[in-house]
Amino acid sequence: MDDFLIQYRQLGDMFDTFSMGVMVVGPDRKIISLNHSAEIITGFNESDLRGKDCSQELLEPLCGGHCQYLDAVESGRQAEHVDFEISDRNKGKQNITRIVSPIYGPDGNSLGCIEVFQDHTVFKDLLERVRHDDRRLKIILDNLDIGLLTVDRGGHVTFFNNRAETITGFNRGSVLGKSCSMIFGKTTSLDMLLFKETIADGQARSTAEGEIKTRDGQAIPIRANYMALKNEDGRIIGGLATISDLSLKYQFNSEIRGRYTFYDMVGKDPAMQKIFEIVPVVAASDATVLIEGPTGTGKDVLAKVIHNASQRSKKPLVKVNCAALPDNLLESEMFGYVKGAFTGADQNKPGRFQEADRGTIFLDEIGDLPLSLQAKLLRVLEDKEFYPLGSRKTTRVDVRIISATNQNLEQLVKEKRFREDLFYRLNVMRLDLPSLKNRRGDIPLLISHILKRLCATRDTSVEKISNDALEVLLNHDYPGNVRELENIIEHALIVCRENIIERHHLPLSLQGDLPARLPEAPKPSFEKNIQYSEKALILEALRKHNWNKGKTAADLDMNRSTLWRKMKKYEISS
């Protein structure tokens, strides 16, 4: 639990950059931390509140006497979004937007909650004075740290501030005078409907979790507020929308909790767009899914997205790597065994299919499943039941099966290495992920997405990648696909001590200006280069800090638990 809360506390430090308050509360409702912005907004000091009961200290002044955290946990919702006015410690009135989100561990138990809130008091005052043609206020609005756009009664964009340009990727010249559907998507989207209704009746509206499309066609999550604009006679002349980018929140949750969503799927290539279009339909069904694609293309991420978007999302997603387990253990691991089934079986042990009951089982590398087990898997697909090892009674399960392979199953069928009847049962919905070299146009999008996610979880800040380094990344063939690209960027973040990733921060095998090797000399693999560089960095930092693990972890911008895990991986001992 400590690792989770430490990482959420680091999130508070990052949100200080956006002047957004973050408070972390434990499962016992004891206050763990407030970031600097939270102190400014609330008027309370972290030192005065740390360790105290949230319900006793803040329930009335900040929560209006009602705990949204408990409501969210009891109802099973991920977050509660509230806009309200409070009196701070100094009796001043403030307009606050607050999101209360429970923190759940891998086992689904609540670890506490995180509250993110932002003061819109000054912003609201400005909006009350804004006029359609007030240039001075437009200059002020242009420099706010929140995306803002205005439209006329026909929905055509009349103003688009700097932050809106940053969030969407559109420059104002390309959107002014155009329909705001360029930003919010189809005219039937929820955000467009809310905006139209606001302009029609003058009533303000908001979405806790909306969506917009960037210039590159990437969907990003937003929080939006809509209000009508009126002239001095009180007549509605248009509307105003504020948008806040929630990508950081989603990327942080994806990394920490493994809760991948549609926003983790990145790409504008036609092959990827077809997958994006069909995945929501596939997820809503209970059909068996087969995911094919080369190693490192993201088959496991796609499986998680399908599960998390399905009706089974609150139940387990159990992964079995069919290539990682020995044949003699695979059957007992998948289907379990009963007491006395073999020597040492002193009690019943449920298998992975039982663990996934009413949820999803993900069979990775299904092409490596032994023929002896394929018949048993076929029975599970057909009858939803199987015999645990050593049992004479069948066990029934309600499980959705998602399988993945980097092999050509049709070819394996022809070679009699995979059952034809099982192939057709698995191949109900088939999704083919292309290799990265076949969708090079997606590389810049993936670099940006991966960089944001890694920076969020490592509490580091890299402003950009230099043109020289970007040229190297854009021209690499990526035999390891997206996973290789992610490893390259992670390597660069470890080595980089500045705000810009340069060419010399990339792995040695990519830098290009290396001495020529003799033809017979084997070229080190990409993974070996990554591991060698990371191991060398860790050893250097350990020696620098006299093997003090805490100081070493801080110097490398990683958690102590991460440092211990990497030391074990590279067999580094003091």
DSSP string, 19-41: T-EEEEE-TTSBEEEE-HHHHHH
Q: How far apart are CA 187 and CA 197, in angstroms?
A: 12
* DSSP assigned state of 539: H
547-557 mean pLDDT:
78
Structure confidence at residue 13 as a pLDDT band (50, 70, 90): low
Cα dihedral 355, 361, 367, 373 sign: positive
Same fold, 124-246 and 260-434: no
Please tell me the predicted confidence (pLDDT) of residue 358.
92
Please tell me the predicted confidence (pLDDT) of residue 84.
56
The domain made up of 124-246 is a member of CATH 3.30.450.20: yes
The domain made up of 260-434 is a member of CATH 3.30.930.10: no
Residue 563: count other Cβ atoms within 10 Å of its Cβ. 21
Closest C-alpha to 485, from 291, 298, 303, 262 = 298
pTM for this model (two decimals): 0.56
Identity (one letter) of the amino acid at 140? I
311-336 mean pLDDT:
86
Please tell me the predicted confidence (pLDDT) of residue 485.
92
Q: What CATH code is assigned to 439-513+523-569?
A: 1.10.8.60
Closest C-alpha to 255, from 450, 5, 69 = 450
Please tell me the predicted confidence (pLDDT) of residue 520.
40
Q: How far apart are CA 265 and CA 259, in angstroms?
A: 13
Q: How far apart are CA 8 and CA 365, in angstroms?
A: 34
* DSSP assigned state of 337: B
- 334-357 burial string, b = 16+ CB within 10 Å, else e? bbbbbeebeeeeeeebebbbbebb
CA dihedral defined by 33, 112, 146, 230, rounded to 10 degrees?
Answer: -120
Structure confidence at residue 327 as a pLDDT band (50, 70, 90): confident
Residues with Cβ within 8 Å of 519's Cβ and at least 6 positions away in sequence, in order, are none
Instruction: Tell me if 262 sits within 8 A of 285, measured CB to CB.
Output: no
Q: How far apart are CA 54 and CA 66, in angstroms?
A: 12
Annotated domain spans of the chain: 2-119, 124-246, 260-434, 439-513+523-569
Question: What are the tens digits of pLDDT across the range 101-132?
Answer: 777 776 777 778 888 777 665 455 555 544 44
Instruction: Tell me if 159 sits within 8 A of 128, measured CB to CB.
Output: no
Closest C-alpha to 433, from 298, 266, 293 = 293
Highest mean pLDDT among 90-104, 154-168, 543-557: 154-168
Structure confidence at residue 332 as a pLDDT band (50, 70, 90): confident
333-341 mean pLDDT:
85
- 3-class SS of residue 336: coil
Highest mean pLDDT among 205-209, 223-227, 420-424: 420-424
Q: What CATH code is assigned to 2-119?
A: 3.30.450.20
The answer to which of 9-23, 163-177, 491-505 has the lowest mean pLDDT is 9-23
Instruction: Tell me if 240 sits within 8 A of 224, measured CB to CB.
Output: no
CA dihedral defined by 118, 122, 128, 133, rounded to 10 degrees?
Answer: -110
- 3-class SS of residue 3: helix
